[in-house]
Amino acid sequence: MRSALILVLTLPLLAGCAAAGAPLAAATPEPTQSPSPSPSSSAAVPEIATRDASIGSVQTAATVAPVRLSIPQLNIDMRIDAMGLDGDGAMALPDNASDAGWYKFGPGVANDAGATVIAAHVDSRHDGIGPFSRLKDASTGSVISVAGSDGSTVDYVVTEVRSVGKIDAPMAEVFDRAGDPRLTLVTCGGDFDSSTGHYIDNIILTAVPAGT
Amino acid sequence: MKSRLAAGGAAGAVLVVALAAPMSAAAAEGDAQLSVLHGIPGVTVDVWVNGDLTLDDFAPGTLTDPLMLAPATYSVAITASNATSATDQVVLGPIDLPLAMDGNYTAVAHLNAAGEPAAAFFTNDVSATAAGEGRLTVRHVAAAPAVDILAGDAPVIEGLENPNEEILNLPAGVVPASVVAAGTTEPALLGPADVDVAEGVNTIVYAYGSLEDDTLALAIQTIDGLHTPPAGIPAGQTGAAAAAETAQSTWIGLGAFGLLLAAAGALFATRRTAARR
């Protein structure tokens, strides 16, 4: 199931690569001397801004890592670790279900746009059933507080909790880096397939900054 | 610049342009993106596109924002900064730049290996990067021989010549990069400089200037939004949570069944009582 999914996801990407011009050298058009400066096409040229291109000029937007999560309604109060990917290209999570993981390549706390993604095991070989087993019971309007590594705290309000079959789980949407700023909490749910060792669903909770 | 642009757009020309490319005033679907980098030290220039002054007093080491352009072939000329037209005091060109639909390009005014002004036209790789990775593109546009690029002490690109590029897809992170003469590890011609190869970003580093004139420098351009999401979120390992759910609903079910039994029992007892009467 899983390999089929990856294959389906990968094929359009490969197609995209090819279309974008691999091999790159061959696809790079050669500039040619034109006989005169007169337009070889009559397309208009808009105004343009410029900037310093020196090596120190690239401003890396400071991402504030979330370090603690609390949902009073569900009696949840968890530490958050910054996580990347596992060996299969899936989001890596802390071993313990009692700890949550933040996808460190995506938006952080108080981001301008996109989804801050925090996930945790619903149950783990290390410490059993975790707090995120209660995520599915969250009520719309419940408050979620996220503390950042800079000492700030941002409150979010739950807008939606849904269960999505993993085969259909919209990863591009979950990990969206554009659009309105929001918090996305994810864990597993539904039936457990003991033959694969995986749950069949993802529980996806969406919250927006309080006061928006 | 604005006023000169407006003045240059005589009524007739504007009309022709508007008729031919009515959508080019604002970014439109399929537009190509063209950035321009000035990599010739010591000369401030003007850039003319299709005969119109597009960049006034363009300084070395400066990069433009991407121009959104309808796919077409554009004629670009680079002149001295006090030129009065695209054909006055020409430094470079005019050259034709063929821009394809949705293409992403950087045109670079630079020195060739012999130290003469030249134009390079690169197609930027904006294909998706793998989750967790960034892309590092290195372009040699300097008046200098072939170079190697070191990450720390190890060469990651070897024998790169003007005006070529090499592309590496790397785990996201900071690369301590140095530029050295090909086949050597020191002295560094440029750097070491920390280059942040951010996830989902094509970070393009240009080595420009002249070795002989001691004007070598690095310029940097970034193109973001190339990221790929993780393949999934496997967030359960044992099934204990599902088992606990099932057990809970079983007890609820048993409870309901028990009530039903009790009700049936009561009914039965009532009937028996009635039958005895």
DSSP string, chain A: -HHHHHHHHHHHHHHHHHHHTSSHHHHSPPPEE-SSSS-SS--------EEE-BGGG--PPPPBPEEEEEEGGGTEEEEEEEE-B-TTSSBP--SSTTSEEEETTS--BT-SSSEEEEE--SEETTTEE-GGGGGGGPPTT-EEEEEETTS-EEEEEEEEEEEEETTT--HHHHT--SSS-EEEEEEEEEEEETTTTEEEEEEEEEEEETT-
Residue B131 predicted with pLDDT over 90:
yes
CATH for A79: 2.40.260.10
- Element spanning B18, H or E: helix B11-20
Task: Please judge whether B220 and A202 are an interchain contact, meaning their C-beta atoms are less than 8 angstroms apart.
Answer: no
How far is it, in rounded angstroms, from Cα A38 to Cα A123?
A: 69
Look up residue B143 and give its amino acid: A
Whether A154 contacts A145, CB under 8 Å: yes
- The answer for B 233-272 residues in CB contact with A (under 8 A) is 233-244
Domain assignment of residue A56, yes or no: no
The answer to whether B52 faces chain A, any CB pair under 8 Å, is yes
CA of A197: which chain B residue's CA is closest?
Answer: B237
Domain assignment of residue A24, yes or no: no
Task: Convert the pLDDT of each residue in A181-196 to its tens digit.
Answer: 999 999 999 999 988 8
What total of structural domains would you count in chain A? 1
Domain assignment of residue A166, yes or no: yes
Whether B192 contacts B176, CB under 8 Å: yes
Task: Please judge whether B218 and A55 are an interchain contact, meaning their C-beta atoms are less than 8 angstroms apart.
Answer: yes
Q: How many CA atoms lie within 13 A of A165 on its CB side?
A: 6
- Chain A residue numbers with beta carbons less than 8 Å from the beta carbon of B68 are 46
Q: Smallest CA–CA separation between B6 and chain A, in Å? A: 11
Domain assignment of residue A152, yes or no: yes
| pLDDT < 50: residue spans in chain A | 1-29, 34-42
Closest to B81 measured CA to CA, from B112, B122, B44: B44
Cis peptide before B94 (omega within 30 of 0): yes
Domain assignment of residue A21, yes or no: no
Q: Smallest CA–CA separation between B116 and chain A, in Å? A: 16
pLDDT band at residue B252 using 50, 70 and 90 as cut-offs:
low
- Chain A residue numbers with beta carbons less than 8 Å from the beta carbon of B195 are 55
Domain assignment of residue A80, yes or no: yes
The answer to whether A93 faces chain B, any CB pair under 8 Å, is yes
Those residues whose C-beta lies under 8 Å from the C-beta of residue B268, and which sit 6 or more positions away, are none
Domain assignment of residue A167, yes or no: yes
Task: Please judge whether B62 and A29 are an interchain contact, meaning their C-beta atoms are less than 8 angstroms apart.
Answer: no
Whether A179 contacts A206, CB under 8 Å: no
Q: Do domains B1-123 and B127-229 have the same CATH topology?
A: yes
Q: Which residue has the higher pLDDT, A28 or B243?
A: B243
Query: Most distant CA pair in chain B: distance in Å?
Result: 124
How far is it, in rounded angstroms, from Cα B117 to Cα B143?
A: 10
Task: Convert the pLDDT of each residue in A71-96 to its tens digit.
Answer: 999 999 999 999 999 999 999 999 99
Write down the pLDDT at residue B270: 55
Least confident of A195-204, B3-12, B38-47, B190-199: B3-12
What DSSP character marks residue B202? E
- The answer for B 186-205 residues in CB contact with A (under 8 A) is 193, 195-196, 198-200, 203, 205
Interface pTM (ipTM) of the complex?
0.78
Beta bridge partners of A163: A203
How far is it, in rounded angstroms, from Cα B38 to Cα B62?
A: 6
Task: Please judge whether B235 and A85 are an interchain contact, meaning their C-beta atoms are less than 8 angstroms apart.
Answer: no
CA of A42: which chain B residue's CA is closest?
Answer: B17
- The answer for B 70-99 residues in CB contact with A (under 8 A) is 70, 72-75, 77, 85-87, 93-98
The dotted CATH code for B127-229 is: 2.60.40
Those residues whose C-beta lies under 8 Å from the C-beta of residue B172, and which sit 6 or more positions away, are A105, B132, B133, B134, B197, B198, B199, B200
pLDDT band at residue B245 using 50, 70 and 90 as cut-offs:
confident
* Cβ burial A140-170 (10 Å sphere, 16+ → b, else e): eebebebbbeeeeebebbbeebeebebeebe
The answer to whether A195 faces chain B, any CB pair under 8 Å, is no
How far is it, in rounded angstroms, from Cα B190 to Cα B150?
A: 10
Least confident of A161-170, B151-160, B173-182: A161-170
The answer to whether A34 faces chain B, any CB pair under 8 Å, is yes
Architecture field, domain B1-123: Sandwich (2.60)
Task: Convert the pLDDT of each residue in B99-108 to its tens digit.
Answer: 999 999 999 9
Q: Which residue has the higher pLDDT, B160 or B3?
A: B160
Q: Which residue has the higher pLDDT, A211 or B210?
A: B210
Q: Where do the structural domains in chain B lie, given as residue ranges?
A: 1-123, 127-229
CA of B92: which chain A residue's CA is closest?
Answer: A33
Task: Please judge whether B95 and A123 are an interchain contact, meaning their C-beta atoms are less than 8 angstroms apart.
Answer: no
Stated pTM of the model = 0.79
Average pLDDT, integer, range B132-147 = 97
Structural domain for A143, as ranges:
66-209
Average pLDDT, integer, range B240-247 = 86
Domain assignment of residue A37, yes or no: no
